[in-house]
Amino acid sequence: MNITKKQESGFSQKYYVGAFTGRVVMINPTVQELTEYRGATPKDDAKEINYSGKTQNGDEFVSIHFYIQPEYLDAPLLVRKFMFIDKPVESKDKAPQWVNQVGMASYCANKRDLADWFTDFTDFNTKEKIADKEIRQAFQGESKFYEFLTEWMSSVNYFEPSTKIWIDDKKKFFNNIDKYVKEQYQPLVKAEKKWLDATDKETRAKLAEDVYTGVIAGLATVSCKESSESVKYYQGVYDSFFGGKKVQGFLNNVRTQLWRKDVKKNGKDGIYLRWFKQVTEGEYQLKDLYELCIFKEIDLANFTQYSNETFIPPVEEKQTVANEDLY
């Protein structure tokens, strides 16, 4: 017989749950950029982060990782990841998903049957059509990405016919994701940082003209993966965010827990109530560890709240492995 005793549990990494506000500080950084931001030096044998590859099914993919710095003391970077595969998206009923130039997405069996709000730009006052929106079939990962972009890029005029936030060069996007991100998205981060770093009002006012992004709010989570030998924990974020004026409304609902009062005059659920139901109800409810509270550090050894059927094994029974989950 040859046996070994399981190692004593311990958590070398801090974990957080709850509603946070923050800013995107990096997009698809290199190992050096990421470690330097954290105040460290890359190891000599550190492997570069690869933002493209193949899935287990053999599909080629590219990915974009947004690193978000919460506006709380000593809080770690949170990462929202998007994976893209050059395959069309269809509903359960085989209806294709369509996207337009301003990041909207809709399922419809025939392109000609798409709703006017999806296909037309209209005058804000007269509601008359002023231009067509460019439309095409969506590829995998695209619609969720645009949901995030439109919240983060909260200063963009999405009613202006010249506005285009969609991926307009699919070939370039999939063939060289690093170059595409460097040209299209990283300048947005740099422009915001330059504006934030400015010290006088005149300079800030001038720089503000080139700033299209802002503070976003989301929900920090912790996921758990169990094997026969260990339990691995990963700091994560829920995939829906709020930007612009919706940030404060989201935080108010977290503080008051009055989600179910967010009902429109026509009886339909408001945006915060829809979010609340997505997180807490139904087949696709959030299965990671979470708490509907303001952002806070948690002690995993004593954290008992869980959602759905997610079960956290007692930490004394298995070796616990902390994971930064950098990419």
Domain layout of the chain by residue ranges? 15-81+185-323
Reply yes or no on whether the pLDDT at 227 is more than 90.
Answer: no
Reply yes or no on whether the pLDDT at 8 is more than 60.
Answer: no
153-158 average pLDDT score: 96
Q: Can you tell me the distance from the alpha carbon of 107 to that of 90, in angstroms, rounded to the nearest whole number? A: 8
Structure tokens at 230: 């260990």
Question: Residue 301's pLDDT band (boundaries 50, 70, 90)?
Answer: confident
Percent of the chain residues past pLDDT 90, beyond the cut: 76
Question: Residue 305's pLDDT band (boundaries 50, 70, 90)?
Answer: low
pLDDT in the model for residue 282: 87
Q: Are 88 and 96 in contact (CB under 8 A)?
A: yes
Helix axes 246-256, 271-280, angle to 10 degrees: 50
Reply yes or no on whether the pLDDT at 156 is more than 50.
Answer: yes
Pairwise pLDDT comparison (316 vs 58), residue with the higher score? 58
pLDDT tens digits, 231-256: 889 999 999 999 999 999 999 999 99
Find the radius of gyration of the CA atoms of the chain: 22
185-203 average pLDDT score: 96
287-300 average pLDDT score: 91
Q: Left (φ > 0), alpha (ψ -120 to 50) or beta: where does 180 sit?
A: alpha
Q: Give the global pTM.
A: 0.88
List residues bridging with 70 in a β-sheet: 22
Q: Can you tell me the distance from the alpha carbon of 189 to that of 25, in angstroms, rounded to the nearest whole number? A: 6
146-162 average pLDDT score: 97
pLDDT in the model for residue 231: 81
Reply yes or no on whether the pLDDT at 152 is more than 50.
Answer: yes
303-317 average pLDDT score: 46
Centroid of chain to Cα 165: 16
260-268 average pLDDT score: 92
Structure tokens at 86: 């050059």
Pairwise pLDDT comparison (75 vs 237), residue with the higher score? 237
